[in-house]
Structure 1
Amino acid sequence: MCLYTMGKFLMKRLPIELERSIIIHNVMRYSSSSSKPFESIPGLSSLPIIGPIHHFIPGIGSVGLRASFFELSKVLFEKYGSIVKLDGLLARASMVILYEPDHFEQIYRSEDSVAPSRPGFDTLVYYRTKLRKSTYDGVYGLTTAEGMQWRDFRTKVNPALLKPKLVKLYTPVLEEIAKDMVARLTMLKNDTYLQENLDLEITKWSLESIAVIGLGSRLGCLEDNLSEDHPARILIKCSQDIINLSWKLEFFPSLWKYYPTSNYKKIIKTFDLQWDTSAKFIEEARRIINGREHNIPEEDKSIIEKLLDIDDRVATMMANEMLLAGIDTVAFTTVALLYNLATNPKVQDKLREEIRLPEPKNRYLKACLKESLRLYPVIPANLRRTTKDHFVAGYHIPKGVDVIAPNEFLSRMDKNYPRASEFIPERWLVEKSDPIYYGNCHPMVTLPFGFGVRSCIGRRIAELEIEVFIKRLLNDVKVTWEGPPVQVISRVMNSFKKPYYFKFETAH
């Protein structure tokens, strides 16, 4: 600690990022000579082959089966402290959960080089790189690619997805979709159907929005009585089935690597169906682009059109991943924001006042979204797989270990945010001298879009979709919640336990 303090004193005139890097390097070098072995990190005991799985058996295990990763993080923290080891299960990598942001920052920054490792699901990796290798032809996308393959793909798609002009280009059409969605919610507002299906309706809106951005055309997701065999409905079901099946295959004992289990067969069929269905939409977008009789300005091209100019295979893969990973994530974030606004009516009224200004700046809207993401992130934790040795918290963490940052749990701790469990958008707007100012918290605590070069490439698009929809909805509609507090369930990503107790009424 003395070394750390000395480093801060000597580096206080340097930029904060350089300061952090130098201090972390010095602390790591100092710690390497006095660290305890990896095996001595506190954590759940393990059995041969099955690892610590017996601790999670309901009614028998010391931890039990928890509904959310937040609850699991809380139990392990209270039981073992600020660093917890979970040995690998059935040949999977061992995990270390770090509860001190300085500790996982040390590792994340050290690993944040050209292509930091964040492994995808084994089933999807196997599907793309082995089972359907000829289809993907070495282009594995952002969800499964690693190393320089990932870096090459990300470098190609960055210009099309990260330009600020996206806001100007897509806002008008997203406003049309939001208007249609508000009309649909207004029509269904007194229907008990929404208690069990609000997430489906919001997901339809999310898919319609991401499709118009990625493909340049609407899919018709918001039509009345959308049939089960409609391509848009198939994509939604595929996305949900992939999440549920991945949860069973990746986080519970499964022998799919040794023989094709029932769930393995189901997920392979679902991967095929998702790819084939999205490919039809992509081919239709390509047909429209190729059939155009005139050129359009570069700034008016859809994302897939920009990517087709660069690399045909990359364009197809990126569009496919947008239709897979970009719908449930946005839907959950939107429902979470609606819940926070419904249960905090004064905040909702204040936001509505901003929205109705002649030229709204959206500052309070953006603060509401940030605060909602702090409390209800889509992904409850971040992960990096170590590519080298690390020495942190007095322990040696070797290469090949998954280092977990339990960001949702940390974001709800009062030691990190005053009144952490409360929805207070003002914490993102107040002066630095205010006790609730968000900047008083360690910058690594809340990372809803990930960290570093592997942070979410769709952040700007997701925020735009949500902001446009919330502005349109709250201008016309008052949202209330008439039920018990919402409960979160973690199945790969967070979701809400049904039913939903929203009420939608005309706003005055």
Structure 2
Amino acid sequence: MTRARVFIREVNSLRFPLKMQFRTRSIRNYPTESNEIGDTSINLRPTEDIPGPKALPLIGNLFRFMPYIGEYYNVNVLTLMRMLHEKYGNIVKLDGLKKQPTIFLFCPELCKSMYQLQGKIPIRIAMEPLHNYRKNREDIYKGQYGLTTSQGELWKEFRSKVGPHMMRPKIVKMHVAQIHDITNEFVDKISTLLDPKTLELPDDFMNELYKWSVESMCSIALNYRMGCLKSNLAIDSDAQIMINCVKEMFDLTYRIENVPSLLEINNRRNYQKLFNALDKINGISAKYIENAKNNILKTADADRDYSILEKLLCIDEQTALVMALDILMSTDTTSNAAGALLYHIANNKEKQEKLRKEVMSVLPDKTTPITPDVLEKIPYVKGCIKESMRLFPITNGILRNMPKDVSLGGYFIPKGTNVIACHAVLSMDPKYFACPMEYIPERWIRDSPEFSSHKSIHTYVYMPFGYGVRACIGQRFAEMELEILLLKVIRNFRIEWHYGPLEHESQIVNTVKSPLRFKLIDL
């Protein structure tokens, strides 16, 4: 049965009973903002009163996403969010694509309320195609599906095992030397990629950033070098296949989850392609995980850096395997964040010169090693990274599935509803950021004389790595990698940009689409 038919059947069976239920239900049965039952001081309105595109009988809003007739056809996620916000306000309901409506929040106070109501074990029903794959490959996952797709107690147990080895600053510091060496090698390679006449990087430099990210994550996860930074890496090499398959995984997952289709055969084909890509990723990862395990058995040096895999093997081999797979599949996000970061630095000469002064103060010589102590003395570097992620967030929002009936913004939100805090829209809103389209790293630096509005930034506006216990577990590693990359590039080159605004594609994650033809001048 096609998705459209399933949706029509659900609408026919549920639409009118739900309408009657919402209109006749006593206000005493609605939960309040504090999630208590029976408070009559708040007059909650029914879910169907939330502003949003008007759904048609039987087909809901499906027609709005169809070719030629749909106002949302071929519109990316971020643009869709902006359109909904501009037309309908701070809380918007979109019916017709899932069993339950999706609620979009465009106000930091509403986002705060959502996080307060998410429960002790937040539910995030996302990337279901990936979860379906992992359930289908029980011989690999054996009931442990990782942090991305697990829910409930299964997720909580997994997180409790891996959290201490991923989130502690002390653990991250242990890998600084590894990433420094890899980034040194990467910067040396950059010099060989420059066009001798224009001093510009090639159109496919984004792919080089993917290689740097894969090599870095493989080193952290497995203490093993994949060899991504070798010159003239073959198209059929493990590294390049991994890069291509990870990009394909995100694209296909987005198409299956978010691009409406009346033809079931389209979904079957996309699922087949997705499973094929994931099989390749797992096959390559398994080989390097096995190599890393063999190296562990051979090595008895107590002074060496221990990989995430080795630390987790002491707890549970299956947990170690699944976490290593998750880490190796996360390279797409860091590489795109790096591409956008270099663009913003290249496109803002004054900020780059100010950044270079700080970099020169901690790295007086090009060969000065980057240590954990150095990373404690670079507030402007950190501000540059935060500001880039405000203008180019990796994800557009944070989704939570409501664990019980709750109220948001004076409306009743039933259990099981997906609610999205749209932080990418909020981060560009002049209500919350002065000069929101400008790249101003100073806004993140306390007591900055150039920009004094740091204290006015609402806590729940900017969330590049998520929130609470379901925040990105690799945040500290990603920040460390970006810091080291920026330090090394700025210490070695003056970077320029002579093209138009950076183009990107917005799906599950935001990806750079412009050829990154940076001009680099050796210092």
Q: Report the TM-score when normalising by structure 2.
A: 0.86
Question: Could you tell me which residue of structure 1 aligns to residue 24 of structure 2?
Answer: none
Q: Does the 8 Å CA contact 2:35/2:406 hold for their aligned counterparts?
A: no
Report the Cα distance in structure 1 between the residues aligned to 2:267 and 2:437, rounded to whole angstroms: 44
- Sort the Cα spacing of 1:265 and 1:365 in 2 relative to 1 into closer, same or farther, 3 A: same
1:279 aligns with 2:286: yes
Choose from 351, 355, 365 the match for 1:351: 355
Cα offsets for 1:228-283 (capped at 9, x unmatched): 22111111111011011112111112579899721111111111111111011101
The farther-off stretch of 388-397 and 148-157 is 388-397
Question: Could you tell me which residue of structure 1 aligns to residue 14 of structure 2?
Answer: none
Please give the secondary structure, in 2, of the residue aligned with 1:196: coil
- Sort the Cα spacing of 1:167 and 1:352 in 2 relative to 1 into closer, same or farther, 3 A: farther
- 2:426 maps to amino acid: L
Choose from 319, 328, 337 the match for 2:324: 319
Report the Cα distance in structure 2 between the residues aligned to 1:26 and 1:263, rounded to whole angstroms: 40
1:106 aligns with 2:117: no
- Sort the Cα spacing of 1:283 and 1:51 in 2 relative to 1 into closer, same or farther, 3 A: farther
1:200 aligns with 2:200: no
Consecutive unaligned residues in structure 2, runs of 5 or more: 1-31, 364-373
| Identity rate, percent | 37
Choose from 107, 121, 126 the match for 2:132: 126
- 1:79 maps to amino acid: K
Choose from 84, 88, 108 the match for 1:80: 88
The farther-off stretch of 115-124 and 276-285 is 115-124
CA drift of 1:58 comes to 5.1
Q: Does the 8 Å CA contact 1:84/1:96 hold for their aligned counterparts?
A: yes
Report the Cα distance in structure 2 between the residues aligned to 1:32 and 1:389, rounded to whole angstroms: 17
Report the Cα distance in structure 1 between the residues aligned to 2:340 and 2:430, rounded to whole angstroms: 21
Question: Could you tell me which residue of structure 2 aligns to residue 70 of structure 1?
Answer: 78
- 1:347 maps to amino acid: K
Report the Cα distance in structure 1 between the residues aligned to 2:427 and 2:487, rounded to whole angstroms: 26
Q: Does the 8 Å CA contact 2:77/2:396 hold for their aligned counterparts?
A: yes
Deviation >6 Å, runs of 4+: 26-29, 255-260, 432-435
CA drift of 1:60 comes to 2.3
CA drift of 1:498 comes to 2.4
Report the Cα distance in structure 2 between the residues aligned to 1:329 and 1:273, rounded to whole angstroms: 19
Please give the secondary structure, in 1, of the residue aligned with 2:521: strand
Report the Cα distance in structure 2 between the residues aligned to 1:153 and 1:32, rounded to whole angstroms: 41
Choose from 208, 222, 231 the match for 2:229: 222
Report the Cα distance in structure 1 between the residues aligned to 2:67 and 2:520, rounded to whole angstroms: 39
Q: Does the 8 Å CA contact 1:112/1:453 hold for their aligned counterparts?
A: no
Please give the secondary structure, in 2, of the residue aligned with 1:218: coil
- Sort the Cα spacing of 1:123 and 1:283 in 2 relative to 1 into closer, same or farther, 3 A: same
Q: Does the 8 Å CA contact 1:417/1:436 hold for their aligned counterparts?
A: no
Cα offsets for 1:482-503 (capped at 9, x unmatched): 1111122112110122233421
Cα offsets for 1:170-224 (capped at 9, x unmatched): 1222111111111111111228994531211001000101111110021100011
- 2:422 maps to amino acid: P
- 1:337 maps to amino acid: L
Report the Cα distance in structure 2 between the residues aligned to 1:48 and 1:277, rounded to whole angstroms: 48
Please give the secondary structure, in 2, of the residue aligned with 1:286: helix
CA drift of 1:428 comes to 1.1
Question: Could you tell me which residue of structure 1 aligns to residue 247 of structure 2?
Answer: 240
Question: Could you tell me which residue of structure 1 aligns to residue 467 of structure 2?
Answer: 451
Question: Could you tell me which residue of structure 1 aligns to residue 9 of structure 2?
Answer: none
The farther-off stretch of 471-480 and 182-191 is 182-191
The farther-off stretch of 455-464 and 425-434 is 425-434
Question: Could you tell me which residue of structure 2 aligns to residue 54 of structure 1?
Answer: 63
- 1:417 maps to amino acid: F
CA drift of 1:450 comes to 0.1
1:137 aligns with 2:139: no
Consecutive unaligned residues in structure 1, runs of 5 or more: 1-22
CA drift of 1:432 comes to 8.7
| C-alpha RMSD of the superposition | 2.4
CA drift of 1:126 comes to 1.2
Question: Could you tell me which residue of structure 1 aligns to residue 427 of structure 2?
Answer: 411
1:117 aligns with 2:133: no
Report the Cα distance in structure 2 between the residues aligned to 1:351 and 1:316, rounded to whole angstroms: 40
Report the Cα distance in structure 2 between the residues aligned to 1:257 and 1:438, rounded to whole angstroms: 50
Q: What is the count of residue pairs matched by the alignment?
A: 478
- 1:77 maps to amino acid: H
Cα offsets for 1:8-65 (capped at 9, x unmatched): xxxxxxxxxxxxxxx9528997588511111121111224564313213354223443
Q: Does the 8 Å CA contact 1:417/1:438 hold for their aligned counterparts?
A: no
Question: Could you tell me which residue of structure 2 aligns to residue 212 of structure 1?
Answer: 219
- 2:288 maps to amino acid: F
